[in-house]
């Protein structure tokens, strides 16, 4: 396993506070009003193409705030500090972000434009290491540029905006398709467990692990219940998934991460859907820390464990999950965040990997937008044209 240490910026809260001062607020709603998360846009390009509009997920569920972000440093910061997070949403943000920042490169010379674009691309690519969608989206944007070398720089800038919009629009369709396939795997009365937030907030719409639930609602099926792991240390399950699903009127129960075994053992859960940040060719899957533990439990209790994966999250260049870089984040996320006062002794060592890898042998199936894959996964991916 390769670890990438992003914990150097330990003053997490201070950093966020400083950034908020630098970024304008265009909308503020207080939690408590009727909230339909499916109507919230995770990240958009403003109509006049002057900035990105990012729903600040660090403030949810208490505050719904949309940030207007213009500078590349702030786009980088928004990704690194999880204002926008979740593998597909990070990809969409990076695509819009580089379209925006590339549009400001002042040159009419193609080679000069390409060099400046690549500098921006490398910078944004260094914001987070694990979700492959970030690199996938930036590479796709670069291919757009390279395949139009015969065009003027102004025309290429237009094409980059169009490509970013296509990535966003495709993401909605991909999630909807994963939802339809996942919906076919459950029946009225089922109890579903999910970990972290692979919800609409993690994508352009629908989410991946939550898409089957939203599609169920669209089909008029409401007779199912969902258990959300709270997902320490950043509480994506409590703050984001519970916010979304409860707001959508789904029967939602929040549990601490260490309660998953109990709800499984007592028969309350008969299906697990999770998202992913990167899937290796053999099906090993990196997702939010704690996912592999849920998979081990599901295997123990004989509960089907499904990974919901847009094909853009499948990295066929990596043979196994051992090659997936795992982000390690600040100690303060474990010792201080969410608490009124520090909840660990000063100086104690903290280990805070943000993701883990679930072995493919624990996975019942991987749901892509192109179809449901079963082991052996590499063969199944290739049969669906995922290369
Ligand atoms: O650190 P995060 O909040 O970006 O981690 C998100 C997850 O692990 C999600 O499960 C994954 O990105 C899939 S989102 C559809």
Q: Residue 145: give its domain's CATH number.
A: 1.20.120.420
Q: What is the mean pLDDT of residues 369-383?
A: 98
Q: Do 264 and 295 fall within a single domain?
A: yes
Domain that holds residue 145: 2-173
Alpha carbon of 360 to ligand 1 centroid (Å): 18
Query: How many other CB atoms are found less than 10 A from the CB of residue 330?
Result: 23
Please check whether residues 251 and 161 belong to one and the same domain. no
CA 60, 63, 66, 68 dihedral sign is: negative
pLDDT band at 3 (very low <50, low <70, confident <90, very high): low
- With a pLDDT cut of 90, the percent of the chain lying above it is 88
State the distance from the centre of ligand 1 to the C-alpha of 105, rounded, in angstroms. Answer: 32
Q: Is the distance from the beta carbon of residue 58 to the nearest atom of ligand 1 less than 6 Å?
A: no
pTM assigned to the model: 0.93
* Atom 6 in ligand 1: residue holding the nearest Cα: 86
**354 within ligand 1 shell (Cβ under 6 A):** yes
Choice from 83, 90, 129, 202 to test ligand 1 binding pocket (greatest atom count within 8 A of CB):
202
Atom number in ligand 1 closest to CA 196: 10
Distance of CA 104 from the midpoint of ligand 1 (Å): 30
Least confident of 14-23, 314-323, 325-334: 14-23
Alpha helices in the chain (DSSP H): 12-22, 72-80, 87-102, 110-125, 132-146, 153-183, 211-218, 236, 242-247, 260-265, 291-301, 332-335, 377-383
Single out the residue in 139, 173, 207 at which a domain terminates. Answer: 173
What's the gap in Å between 109 CA and the centre of ligand 1? Answer: 39
Based on the fold, state whether residues 149 and 241 are members of the same structural domain. Answer: no
* Centre of ligand 1 from the C-alpha of residue 287, in Å: 6
252 lines ligand 1 (CB under 6 A): no
Cα 292 to Cα 196: distance, rounded to the nearest angstrom: 12
**Residue 38: its pLDDT value, please?**
82
Residue pair 89/57 in contact by the 8 Å Cβ criterion = no
Regarding whether 93 and 188 lie in a shared domain, the answer is no
pLDDT above 90 (res 78): yes
Ligand 1 center–CA 93 separation, angstroms:
14
Is 205 in the same domain as 273? yes
Percent of the chain topping pLDDT 70: 91
Q: Provide CB contacts within 8 A for 163, sequence distance 6+.
A: 95, 99, 140, 141, 144
Closest C-alpha to ligand 1, atom 15: 198
Catalytic residue status for 277: yes
Top mutation candidate among 198, 212, 325, 326 for ligand 1, by most atoms within 8 Å of CB: 198
Ligand 1 site, residue 85, Cβ cutoff 6 A: yes
119: confidence class by pLDDT, cuts 50, 70, 90:
very high
Kindly report, residue by residue over 285-303, the tens digit of the pLDDT.
Answer: 999 999 999 999 999 999 9
Question: What is the 89 CA–ligand 1 centroid distance (Å)?
Answer: 9
Q: Is 132 in the pocket of ligand 1 (CB under 6 A)?
A: no
Same domain? For 121 and 255 the reply is no
Which atom of ligand 1 is least distant from the CA of 236?
Answer: 3
**Do 149 and 246 share a domain, yes or no?**
no
Residue ending a domain, among 173, 188, 210, is 173
Q: Give me the mean pLDDT over the 358-384 stretch.
A: 98
Q: Which atom of ligand 1 is nearest to the CA of 234?
A: 3
Based on the domain organization, do 10 and 158 belong to the same domain? Answer: yes
- Pocket flag, ligand 1, residue 60 (CB < 6 Å): no
For ligand 1, whether the C-beta of 310 sits within 6 Å is no
Does 86 contact ligand 1 (Cβ within 6 A)?
yes
**CB 87 near ligand 1, within 6 Å:** yes
Q: Compute the distance between CA of residue 12 and CA of residue 331 in angstroms, rounded to an integer.
A: 10
Lowest-pLDDT range, 37-46, 131-140, 340-349?
Answer: 37-46
Which of 156, 173, 190 finishes a domain? 173
Cβ–Cβ under 8 Å, residues 321 and 286:
yes
Whether a cis peptide bond, with omega within 30° of 0, leads into 376 is: yes
* pLDDT, average across residues 180-204: 97
Which one is catalytic: 229, 277, 315, 356? 277
263 and 154: one domain? no
Q: Based on the fold, state whether residues 68 and 167 are members of the same structural domain.
A: yes
- The band of 4, judged by pLDDT with boundaries at 50, 70 and 90, is low
Count the Cβ atoms, other than its own, within 10 Å of residue 178: 32
Structure tokens at 28: 């503020």
- 8 Å CB contact between 204 and 92: yes
169 shares a domain with 24: yes
CB-based contacts of 25: which residues, under 8 Å, 6+ apart?
Answer: 65, 66, 67, 68
Q: Is the CB of 203 under 6 A from ligand 1?
A: yes
Strand 278-280 relative to strand 285-288, pairing: antiparallel
Residues 129, 227 within the same domain: no
| Domain CATH code at residue 181 | 3.40.50.10470
Tokens of 311: 């094909």
| Count of structural domains within the chain | 2
Look at strands 2-5 and 325-328 and give their pairing: parallel
């Amino acid at each position: 396993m390769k670890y990438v240490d992003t914990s150097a910026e330990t003053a997490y809260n201070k950093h966020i506070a400083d950034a908020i001062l630098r970024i304008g607020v265009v909308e503020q709603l207080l939690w408590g009003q009727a909230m339909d998360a499916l109507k919230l846009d995770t990240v958009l390009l403003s109509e006049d193409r002057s900035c990105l509009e990012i729903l600040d997920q660090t403030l949810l569920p208490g505050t719904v705030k949309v940030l207007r972000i213009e500078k590349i440093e702030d786009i980088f910061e928004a990704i690194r500090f999880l204002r926008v997070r979740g593998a597909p949403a990070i990809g969409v943000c990076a695509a819009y972000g580089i379209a925006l920042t590339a549009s400001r490169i002042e040159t009419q010379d193609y080679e000069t434009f390409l060099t400046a674009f690549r500098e921006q691309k490398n910078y944004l690519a260094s914001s987070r290491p694990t979700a492959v969608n970030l690199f996938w989206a930036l590479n796709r944007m670069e291919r757009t540029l390279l395949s139009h070398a015969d065009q003027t720089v102004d025309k290429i800038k237009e094409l980059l905006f169009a490509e970013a919009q296509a990535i966003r629009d495709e993401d909605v369709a991909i999630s909807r398709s994963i939802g339809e396939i996942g919906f076919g795997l459950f029946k009225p009365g089922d109890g579903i467990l999910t970990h972290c937030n692979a919800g609409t907030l993690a994508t352009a719409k629908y989410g991946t692990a939550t898409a089957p639930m939203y599609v169920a609602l669209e089909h008029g099926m409401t007779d199912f219940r969902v258990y959300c792991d709270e997902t320490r240390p950043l509480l994506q399950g409590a703050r984001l998934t519970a916010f979304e699903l409860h707001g959508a009127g789904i029967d939602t129960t929040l549990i601490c991460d260490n309660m998953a075994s109990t709800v499984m053992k007592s028969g309350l859960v008969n299906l697990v859907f999770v998202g992913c940040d990167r899937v290796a060719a053999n099906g090993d899957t990196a997702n939010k820390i704690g996912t592999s533990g849920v998979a081990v439990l599901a295997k123990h209790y004989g509960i089907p464990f499904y990974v919901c994966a847009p094909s853009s999250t499948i990295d066929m260049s990596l043979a196994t999950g051992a090659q997936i870089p795992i982000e390690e984040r600040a100690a303060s996320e474990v010792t201080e965040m969410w608490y009124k006062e520090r909840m660990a002794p000063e100086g104690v060592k903290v280990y805070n990997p943000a993701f883990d890898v679930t072995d493919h042998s624990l996975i019942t199936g991987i749901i892509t937008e192109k179809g449901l894959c079963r082991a052996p996964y590499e063969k199944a991916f290739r049969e669906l044209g995922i290369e």
